[in-house]
A and B are shown apart, each in its own frame.
Chain A
């Protein structure tokens, strides 16, 4: 009985102890927490790591729990910043205790992946064809609509197994946002969101679940992040863009999709760049945003994060290409630098 009491007392004593490293009165350790989207997690990890090397007293922690959870935690003020692949809706913004700013950080893309036995060629898809496949209207690979786009390829008469995400996801959001733009039927029947009610198909958990199911199931088609497809060397198809060209997703084609938007960028940066106009643009591209309060309570944290963002938007962009993300166009970066000035750091 006494031993138990001793343990409890000892535990309580050390729990609330100081976290500071050494006896440096000049440099105080700044620890900032953020949470949000899983898609940009690799590049954010890299950035926080590199920034820590430049500023050893700054420790930024990021939990990749998903865009929705990140938004929730930011609104509840349990984290300092959030991250999301799909911009917050007006209702969500109104429900927040303060004004929230969206700041794009990098660009990503979503690619269609497929596995058809005896077909190794890179297939071409149009937006309408993809929408019809995911709606369940096109059910076999040798359907005339697909065959028309892929003249030189012999497509087998097998069932198309549609694979989608079972978990709510920003990747899904970008994909269905694109499908809604190219197919009025998709827009009215299913709509746009992170967890749509899929008309057909099986669900895999995460990018890895989808790619696992696709690689294992003959005759299947799914969608994954470009970064994921590149790093795991998965074959992906070409998608027809608004200009009528068939484009393979790559750093250049994704940046081209964003470049056109700089001229018409809304002041809150909440813009969808799927189905972008312009030559060479990959149609299923998207910004990913970090979310900050315009007037946060902790001014030290605010100053640090603003400094971090200025670094990430300039020097940090070179790490993006190494990891497969497309860097932001310069015009967008300039607009963001002025937006960063509005965050209250004093």
Chain B
């Protein structure tokens, strides 16, 4: 919007516009910094009281005033990595199918449906999880043969709620993010790569593989983006994970995550140390998510850099392949 400047060109309007939008951008950075600062400030009581043992101890006893965050860190990492393991093949499959193999008329509807998964609110996933997923997982657990139950990974009574249910629900929530970013990344693979592969006599599958190889940094970035999303997921997880602060290797055991414990216990945390301990867990989550997301963004951006030279394994002079 140009300000009516007396006898000047619209340069004042331009500068004003740049200033305003720059201020918005700066405001966002300041907000994130303010959140970090506030988290540090509110958790100081707990940091001073427990120090590094906060990360090693497994006891979470609000009545006795002993707080150890190990079960939550374990639960968050376990559930997120499990979600990654389950979601990545599916998400990459969707991305590859939509960008390479899909018939034209199917592309848009499929993309739309995948994005729709991302639009479903977390709490709705949680409700679906309690009423549909958990009984299904319970039947699966009851059907596990006795010899398999001896393995620590599959031990424990068939409760239904537990790490497996949480991992599955997180996987479903993460798929749309990973697949849409992977699809974009695959779209940005230069046509020359694929054409060169075909020119060398590659099959469809080999050409796709070449494209995937080219886009590998971006795809890792997409996977990490999904990881970052899974780390912070709260409501869906807390409804199906069983909320038991224990460190257990079993997929069937009820466990706890950082986001879930904050959501569950924050309103009733009446004393200062308890609150500070919860805020400290929030601080950990904040830092971890920041790092994971930044890393994933860097990886995705580095894929988009045109200046970086790629090892073009498939571009060969025409005479050689004709010979």
Which residues on A are within 8 Å of B, measured CB to CB? 1-4, 65-69, 71-72, 91-92, 159, 161, 166-169, 190-198, 201-205, 209, 212-213, 216-217
A-B contact count (CB 8 A): 102
Chain B 254-297 interface 0/1 with A at a Cβ cutoff of 8 Å (1 = within) = 10000010001101111100100000000000000000000000
Q: Which residues of B contact A205 (CB under 8 A)?
A: 238-239, 243, 264
A72–B246 alpha-carbon span in the complex (Å): 29
Kindly state the separation between the CA atoms of A201 and B17 in the bound complex, as whole angstroms: 58
Contacts of B189 in A (CB 8 A): none
Render B1-37 as a binary contact track against A, CB cut-off 8 A, 1 for contact. Answer: 1110000000001001100100000000000000000
The residues of B that contact A166 with a CB separation of less than 8 Å are: 238, 243, 260, 264
Q: Is the CB of B264 within 8 A of A68?
A: no
Q: Which 5 A-B pairs have the closest CB atoms?
A: A168-B268, A203-B243, A1-B1, A68-B268, A166-B243
User: Taking the complex as formed, is B61 at the interface, i.e. its CB lies under 8 A from any CB of chain A?
Assistant: yes
Q: Would you give 24 A-B contacts (Cβ < 8 Å), ordered by A?
A: A2-B3, A3-B1, A65-B267, A66-B267, A66-B268, A68-B268, A69-B268, A91-B271, A92-B271, A166-B243, A167-B264, A168-B62, A168-B264, A168-B268, A191-B64, A193-B62, A194-B268, A196-B63, A202-B254, A203-B254, A209-B239, A216-B134, A217-B138, A217-B159
Q: Which of B157, B243, B269 is the most central at the interface, judged by chain A CB atoms within 10 Å of its CB?
A: B243
Is B176 at the interface (CB under 8 A from chain A)? no
Contacts of A203 in B (CB 8 A): 242-244, 254, 264
If A1-B3, A68-B269, A217-B138 touch, does A191 touch B242 (CB 8 Å cutoff)? no
Q: Are B13 and A204 in contact (CB under 8 A)?
A: no
Structural contact, A168 and B135, CB atoms closer than 8 A: no
The interface residues of chain A lying within 8 Å CB-to-CB of B20 are 1, 4
A1 and B16 in contact (CB under 8 A), knowing A69-B267, A198-B244?
yes
Residues of B129-147 whose CB lies within 8 A of A: 130-131, 134-135, 138
Report B-chain residues with C-beta under 8 Å of the C-beta of A192: 63
Report the nearest A residue to B253, measured CB to CB: A202
For the complex formed, measure the closest distance between the CB of A66 and the CB atoms of chain B, giving whole angstroms.
4
Residues of B in contact with A (beta carbons under 8 Å apart): 1-3, 13, 16-17, 20, 59-64, 130-131, 134-135, 138, 157, 159-161, 238-239, 242-245, 254, 260, 264-265, 267-271, 274
Q: How far is the CA of A81 from the CA of B2 in the complex (A)?
A: 53
Is there contact, CB below 8 Å, between B161 and A213? yes
Nearest Cβ on chain A to B80's Cβ, whole angstroms: 20
Contact of B161 among A91, A159, A196, A202 (CB under 8 A): A202
Nearest A residue (CB) for B126? A205
Q: A201's contact among B13, B16, B239, B244, by CB below 8 Å, is which?
A: B244
Neighbouring B residues of A190 by C-beta, 8 Å: 63
Besides A92-B271, A198-B244, 20 new A-B residue pairs in contact (Cβ under 8 A), listed by A number: A3-B1, A66-B268, A68-B268, A68-B270, A91-B271, A92-B270, A166-B260, A168-B62, A193-B63, A195-B274, A197-B59, A197-B245, A202-B254, A203-B242, A203-B264, A204-B243, A205-B264, A213-B161, A216-B134, A217-B159
Could you say which of B17, B239, B267 contacts A168, with CB atoms under 8 Å apart? B267
Out of B13, B63, B242, which one reaches A195, CB within 8 Å?
Answer: B63
Q: Which residues of A contact B270 (CB under 8 A)?
A: 67-68, 71-72, 92, 194
Roughly how many angstroms separate A67 CA and B59 CA in the complex, as a whole number?
24
Are the CB atoms of A202 and B64 closer together than 8 Å?
no
CA separation between A166 and B130, bound complex, in Å? 15
A270 to chain B, nearest CB (A): 15
- Do the beta carbons of B17 and A1 come within 8 Å of each other? yes
**From A208, which residue of chain B is reached at the shortest CB distance?**
B130
CB distance from A134 to the nearest CB of B (A): 13
Question: How far, in Å, is B265 (CB) from chain A's closest CB?
Answer: 5
Contact A1 B13 (CB under 8 A): yes
Which residues does chain A contribute within 8 Å of B157, judged by CB atoms? 159, 161
Contact partner of B62 (CB less than 8 A), chosen from A1, A91, A195, is: A195
Nearest Cβ on chain B to A63's Cβ, whole angstroms: 10
CA distance A66 to B16 in the complex (A): 48
B63 touches A197 (CB 8 A): yes
Contacts of A193 in B (CB 8 A): 62-63
Chain B: which residue is nearest A64 at the CB level?
B267
* A161:B268 contact, CB within 8 angstroms: no
Q: Could you say which residues of chain A place their CB within 8 Å of the CB of B1?
A: 1-4
The residue of chain A having its C-beta at the shortest distance from the C-beta of B238 within the complex is A205
Q: In the complex the two chains form, is A167's CB within 8 Å of B239's CB?
A: no
In the complex, which of the residues A168, A193, A196, A203 has the most CB atoms of chain B within 10 Å of its own CB atom?
Answer: A203
